[in-house]
Structure 1
Amino acid sequence: MTKILVVDDEPDLETLIRQKFRQKIREQVYEFVFATNGKEALDAIRTVSNIDIVLSDINMPVMDGLTLLSKIGEGHPLMKTVMVSAYGDMENIRTAMNSGAFDFVTKPVNFGDLETTIEKTIHQVLQIKNTLKAIKENNILKMYVDKNVLSFMESREYESSLTDNETIEATVVFIDICGFTSISETETPDLVVKLLNDYFDVMVKEIIAQNGVIDKFIGDCVMAVFKGDYHLDRAIDASLAIRDQIQNLPTQNNFSPSVSIGINSGEMISGNIGSATLRRLDFTVIGDTVNTAQRLQSAACGGQILISEHCFERVKSSFICKKIGNVNLRNKSEKTTVYEVLS
């Protein structure tokens, strides 16, 4: 819904606008706020959140439209102002346009033209918001992503890779912070978020050190994917380092952190998955291999790293493991032989 502030000292204008745009108001496409002069308009901007557009007359008592325009430009640069004035006031209209007004309409108001102007202004506001969002996301991305990765993301190869769906051989790791829900229910949000981010930071550094990729954060759990040569070995190396580092962190507010980890390796589908309607797609992996890794993590206790038997057969010469036995994993019809990686 777009919020539009109408500033005019003509008493009939509010009634006319409510009549002409009653369907858009009823459908909650537009919400109108009204003021009779520039001072009232500034008060409305301070008290009503998320005003996108201002329709302002030029000649008004107390504070005129040109003064209001300058105040809006100083304090609310994202807000777009459309000036409303008579044909004979072209000098003021030119001044307004030179002072940053987005557009103007003339009196008597042609409401068809006014609606077209409003829609054009809304489009401009949305473009600016989307641009700022992209800049913000890009700046955040630059904080965490290697410059070579960023260069790849700007290439045509990256653009084409967004539409590539394929079956790959890889290793998936699920890492959960044990018992973190309890502290989230008793401590302040600021402390909970700080602790969670600190723990995630430890995990991310070790995953990246082994050339793994953070697939997603799921509550207090991390899902990571390892591809390429020795992907299973690198996933286990990262998991061992994460387990040891997390266990060595100091107790905070009577909470001693530990992690439960599930690892599985094999074929999985890699692709851009999500909702086109929401314009939200995540490049991720899916399949039974991924599901089994998550269920291994659910079966693990604090400090445990669990792997399946076929993973054990591949790494038994490189890692010390202990057989746990046959375990019932959720939604698995048969028991799964599970091993714990010790070191």
Structure 2
Amino acid sequence: MAKILVVDDEADLEVLIKQKFRQKIRQNEYEFIFAINGRHALEQLEVHHDVDVVLSDINMPEMDGLTLLSKLNEKNALLKSVIVSAYGDMDNIRTAMNRGAFDFVTKPVNFSDLEITIDRTVKHVGMIKDTLKAMKENNILKMYVDETVLNFMGSREIGASLFDNETIQGTVAFIDICGFTAISENHPPDEVVGLLNEYFDIMARSIIDENGIVDKFMGDAVLAVFKGDNHLERAINSCLNIKDEISNKPEIEGKMNFKPNVSIGINTGEMISGNIGSSTLRRLDYTVIGDTVNTAARLQSSAKEGQIFIAENSYHIIKDSFNCETIGLLEMKNKKVPLMVYEVMGR
């Protein structure tokens, strides 16, 4: 339904509008609101934020239609205005158009012509809104989907390739913000979400700097995947940077003081990469699964604040490049044999 603001100091115009457009009003195609001058129109727009079209006279007390046009452009660029006036000389038409009028209808009003003009203006506003909505959705999509995936989505091979699964060699890192559940229960939601996004952004930048992939955000934790040359070393470099940067963030004061820090589990090896989810719900995540991933999660859950845990197989690969300390054998869920664990201390 289009909402139309009619601005005119002639009281009988409101009656005529309601009479001539009664069918469209009854069918909920048009909704009219009325104002007696430009000042009153601006007050109406403060109440009715969803007005699509303004029909305005020129000669009115307190604020004329041409002044109103200037104010409307400042207020809402999406609003389109049609001047409906007996002053149909070229000077007024040019002034109105220069101030942003979409069209000009002269009095006495031909209501058939006015209806065509309103329909055309409403359609134009609808096209602008649809374009802005598409742009917004596209920008939101870019926030969540990698650019290469967006390009791929337009290719002809999407039907088959989107469901390709493979076994890969890589490194997985689980990065958890320690104690964040407590702050989420003691601080306002906007503050909690703002902090979490700030910490996640630090993690994402560091992961991307080492050519890693943010696989997913899970509550107050991040799953990152590193593939290609030296994937384990790059994962550890990224996690050391994350630990340092997060731990240097200031303490959050409130009902419960909170000093940000992370616990991290890293594991390397073979894993399955593919689309996991429900086709019925149309919700699929391109992610990694397997024992390598599960072990990284177990290592993270065993690590305490400020610790980066790796398993023995990872330790033998990076021991000459990073300083590590032996933690010892740890029992892991769903593991029959305890796992030898090391803590990465630094480069």
Give the alignment's TM-score, normalised by structure 1: 0.68
Report the secondary structure of 1:124's partner residue: helix
Q: Do the aligned partners of 2:37 and 2:60 also contact (CA within 8 Å) in 1?
A: yes
1:256 correspondence with 2:255: no
User: CA, structure 1 residues 201+123, in 2 after alignment: closer, same or farther (shift >3 Å)?
Assistant: closer
Letter of the aligned partner of 1:177 in structure 2?
I
Aligned partner of 1:328 in structure 2 is 333
Q: 1:342 maps to what in 2?
A: 343
Match for residue 128 of structure 2?
A: 124
Aligned-pair CA distance for 1:16? 5.3
Deviations 1:15-39 (A, max 9, x none): 65564144446xxxx7654323322
Q: 1:305 to 1:314 in 2, by over 3 A?
A: closer
* Equivalences for residues 160-309 of structure 1 within 5 A: 163=158, 165=162, 166=164, 167=166, 169=168, 170-188=170-188, 192=192, 195-247=195-247, 251-253=251-253, 254-265=257-268, 266-269=270-273, 284-288=286-290, 292=294, 295-296=297-298, 299-303=301-305, 304-306=307-309
User: Aligned in 2, Cα 1:191/1:3: closer, same or farther, shift over 3 Å?
Assistant: same
1:257-303 Cα distance to aligned partner (Å, 9 max, x none): 2323344543343679999x99xx99853544796378437734433
Deviation at residue 42 of structure 1 after TM alignment: 0.9
How far off is 1:342 after superposition? Answer: 0.2
- Shift of the alpha carbon at 1:247? 4.3
Kept after mapping to 1: 8 A contact 2:175/2:265: yes
Q: Which runs of 5+ in 1 are unaligned?
A: 142-148
| Aligned residue identity for 1:174 | F
Partner of 1:57: 56
The letter of the residue matching 1:34 is: F
Secondary structure of 2:211's aligned partner: coil
Q: 1:181 to 1:237 in 2, by over 3 A?
A: same
- Residue of structure 2 equivalent to 1:144: none
Shift of 1:176: 1.7
For 1:112 and 1:22, locate their aligned partners in 2 and report how far apart those are by CA, in whole Å: 18
The match for 2:119 among 115, 122, 144 is 115
CA contact under 8 A between 1:82 and 1:103: conserved in structure 2? yes
- Unmatched 5+ stretches in structure 2: none
User: How much does 1:186 deviate?
Assistant: 2.3
**Between Structure 1 and Structure 2, whose CA radius of gyration is higher?**
2
Amino acid at match of 1:299: S
- Letter paired with 1:342: E
Instruction: Report percent identity of matched pairs.
Output: 36
**Pair 1:88–1:248, CA change in 2 (3 A):** closer
CA distance in 2, matches of 1:3, 1:300: 60
Question: What is the TM-score normalised by the length of structure 2?
Answer: 0.67
Give distance in 1, aligned partners of 2:157 and 2:42: 46
Aligned twin of 1:46: 46
CA distance in 2, matches of 1:6, 1:216: 51
- How many residue pairs end up in the alignment? 316
Q: Cα RMSD over matched residues?
A: 4.7
Whether the 8 Å CA contact 1:53–1:81 is kept in 2: the answer is yes
